[in-house]
Amino acid sequence: MNDKLRYWRKNTVIKLSPISDNLKKEYFEKISEDFEIFLESLKDKENTQDLNEIKITEYKREVLKIYKYLEDSNGENWKLDKEKIKKLLIGDLKELLRAMDYIGPITSKRLKDKFGEFYKKISNRDFLQEWALKIGVTVCPYCNRNFIFTVPRHTGNGGVRPEYDHFFPKSKYPYLAASMYNLIPSCSVCNKAKSNRNSYKNHEVQYLYPYEEGYGEQIVLKIEDKNKPTDKVTAWLGAAEEYTVYPECSKEVDSEKKKRVENSWEMFKLGPLYEKHSDYIRNILQAKQIYTEEYLEQLVKNFPSAFDSMDDLKNMVYFNYLDEKDWGKRILAKLTHDLEADNP
């Protein structure tokens, strides 16, 4: 698993920026005390029986499994280890996978409901209402098509925030409902499309996980004329009425990641959704015909004080950010980059 994680970190797309240590600390301080109290509330006198007791209920068995995972390393029954709780709340993907591998999916409706009530309680607090703002996410990382701005409630406008997708669904892994790295700020379209689909099957992550991987330079968004796929000239002159958009993986992308790309593209319906941006694609391709490299170089030369660099000029021409590190700042930045960079 560690080798896979190292590989994923080499690939970025609308990849969410690393969460700072200060924000991790703040998140833990805001959530941990209530989480510990909640965990204590799950047990009752009858829960102290052995995990192998024949008549143990589904609820009790799964509570015991969670406690076994989080219990003090000295082996004292029903005493929680604060460090293990910390890893569950603010640990990275590796820690989330470790928890799921040990505890597994939860089937008890009663236990799911309890975790659901806890998440609802904490998610209504200002801290989590403004979480996307704190970590600097303003564009949906799943599709790069929609802005997801946050307007804090204290502004007097009632507040607006993006939806938070539980990458590993709380319907199956409710003990990760409050885990910081399981909360993905997203648009309502993507959150509803993903819904409670299981992102972890047979010990393998099924979709692109925004904190670790994405398309980057190795996976390019390609276009073609939807009605005349073989007519490359019309397509690249920006003269097609409708465009088909699809991801193309380079040879460096292994089969496992390619499958995650395909699964994500299909789940979020990005093909038909990106077709709706055919007018935008036409505008980018037409601008590319006008603003040739030679013309851009001449503009930089003629107006040296107007542009810091060629990249600065291109950002202005295409009204977007072309540098990979900035793709998460504006919608359709990845598509714009690939259209501008691709030479048919």
| Segment 104-117, tens digit of pLDDT | 999 999 999 999 99
pLDDT at 33: 96
* Mean pLDDT calculated for residue range 42-67: 72
Token pair recorded at residue 79: 């005493």
Q: Identify whether the C-beta of residue 162 lies closer than 8 Å to the C-beta of residue 150.
A: yes
Identify the CA nearest to 244 among candidates 265, 231, 270, 225. 225
What distance in Å separates the CA atoms of residue 90 and residue 212, rounded to the nearest whole number?
Answer: 15
What distance in Å separates the CA atoms of residue 309 and residue 123, rounded to the nearest whole number?
Answer: 43
Given pLDDT bands bounded at 50, 70 and 90, which one contains residue 1?
very low
Identify the CA nearest to 294 among candidates 308, 310, 280. 310
Given pLDDT bands bounded at 50, 70 and 90, which one contains residue 6?
very low
Whether pLDDT at 77 is above 90: no
Token pair recorded at residue 339: 């259209």
Mean pLDDT computed over every residue of the chain: 90
Alpha carbon 74 to chain centroid, angstroms: 36
Q: Which residue has the higher pLDDT, 279 or 56?
A: 279
Whether pLDDT at 342 is above 60: yes
Identify the CA nearest to 221 among candidates 152, 136, 170, 284. 284
Whether pLDDT at 90 is above 60: yes
Beta-strand relationship, 219-225 and 163-166:
unpaired
User: Percentage of the chain with pLDDT > 70?
Assistant: 91
Q: Identify whether the C-beta of residue 64 lies closer than 8 Å to the C-beta of residue 112.
A: no
Q: Identify whether the C-beta of residue 17 lies closer than 8 Å to the C-beta of residue 136.
A: yes
pLDDT at 4: 42
Could you tell me which residues are beta bridge partners of residue 185?
164
Whether pLDDT at 249 is above 70: yes
* Residue 235 amino acid letter: A
* Mean pLDDT calculated for residue range 290-314: 94
Whether pLDDT at 7 is above 50: no
pLDDT at 156: 74
Q: Which residue has the higher pLDDT, 250 or 5?
A: 250
Buried b (16+ CB within 10 A) or exposed e, 52-76: eeeebeebbbbbbbbbebbbeeeee
Whether pLDDT at 198 is above 70: yes
Helices (H), the chain: 2-8, 21-42, 58-70, 82-90, 93-103, 109-123, 126-129, 131-134, 188-194, 232-236, 255-267, 270-275, 278-290, 293-302, 310-318, 333-341
Whether pLDDT at 76 is above 90: no
pLDDT at 157: 74
Whether pLDDT at 51 is above 70: no
User: pLDDT tens digit string along 97-151?
Assistant: 999 999 999 999 999 999 999 999 999 999 999 999 999 999 999 999 999 999 9
Q: Identify whether the C-beta of residue 257 lies closer than 8 Å to the C-beta of residue 251.
A: no
Whether pLDDT at 266 is above 60: yes
For residue 244, which phi and psi values (nearest 5 degrees)? Answer: -100, 135
What distance in Å separates the CA atoms of residue 130 and residue 203, rounded to the nearest whole number?
Answer: 32
pLDDT at 53: 52
What distance in Å separates the CA atoms of residue 296 and residue 307, rounded to the nearest whole number?
Answer: 11
Identify the CA nearest to 222 among candidates 140, 341, 326, 329. 341
Least confident among 4-8, 134-138, 272-276: 4-8
Which strand (E) or helix (H) includes residue 233?
helix 232-236
Beta-strand relationship, 163-166 and 183-186:
antiparallel
Q: How many CA atoms lie within 13 A of 41 on its CB side?
A: 12
